[in-house]
Every structure is written in structure tokens, then in C-alpha cells.
Amino acid sequence: MEITINYYVILSCILFCIGVLGFIIRRNLLICFMSIELMLNSVNLLFVAYSHFLKTSLGLMYVFFIMAVAAAEVSIGLAIIIMLFRLKGTVDMDKLNILKG
């Protein structure tokens, strides 16, 4: 059986949807954060797969840039979570309730 591009597309779509579901359902900020990373990595997988099947290297370039940006995002996100923990003593999303109206 030949593995076509569609397998990779479907796999990365499934991974992306798991990430979206995790982001929506879980209440722990760290887990939400990991779900976003999962979404970004599923995009990376899609880029690599397309790059392989289209025989162009642009997709691989994208993967490097996305990985670098994701690393920057992680450092900022964790810093914000730490500040939040210092002020509130919790990383529960439902406790983010001062601002509303």
C-alpha cells in the first residue's frame, strides 16, 4: 500500500483537533499551553509532508521559523504564568475572573 499525502494531511488535522479540544476543555493553564504547542507541531508535520511531496524546500524553512517562534512564545507564556502564580497562587483558568462585564 502506498502512503499518499492524504494520510499526512489527515493525521495532522487529527492532531490539530486534539490540540483545539485540549485548549477548550482543560482548565489548567499549563495544559492549555501544551495544547497550543501540539497545534503548532501538527502544522509543522503538515509543512514537512507537503514539502516532501511537492519537492520544494520552502516547507522545511517554515518549520524552522515556526520552531523558533514557538520557543519565543513558550518563554513569554511561561513568564506570564509565573507572574500569575506569584500574584494569585493558582494556574486555574477559571480563576481569571477579575475582568468581566
Minimum separation from the CB atom of position 2 to another protein (A): 18
Residue (3 or 76) nearer to another protein, CB: 76
- Which residues of the shown chain bind another protein in the complex (CB under 8 A)? 5, 9, 12, 16, 19, 23, 29, 32-33, 36, 39-40, 42-43, 46-47, 50, 54, 56, 58-59, 61-62, 65-66, 69, 72-73, 76-77, 80-81, 83-84, 87-88, 96, 98-101
HSE (side-chain half, CA atoms, 13 Å) at 51 = 14
Residues 6 or more apart whose Cβ sits within 8 Å of residue 1: none
Long-range contacts of 58-67 (CB under 8 A, 24+ apart): 66/40
- Residue 54 CA to residue 45 CA, distance in Å, equals 14
Residue (3 or 87) nearer to another protein, CB: 87
Whole-angstrom Cα Rg for the chain: 17
Residue (1 or 101) nearer to another protein, CB: 101
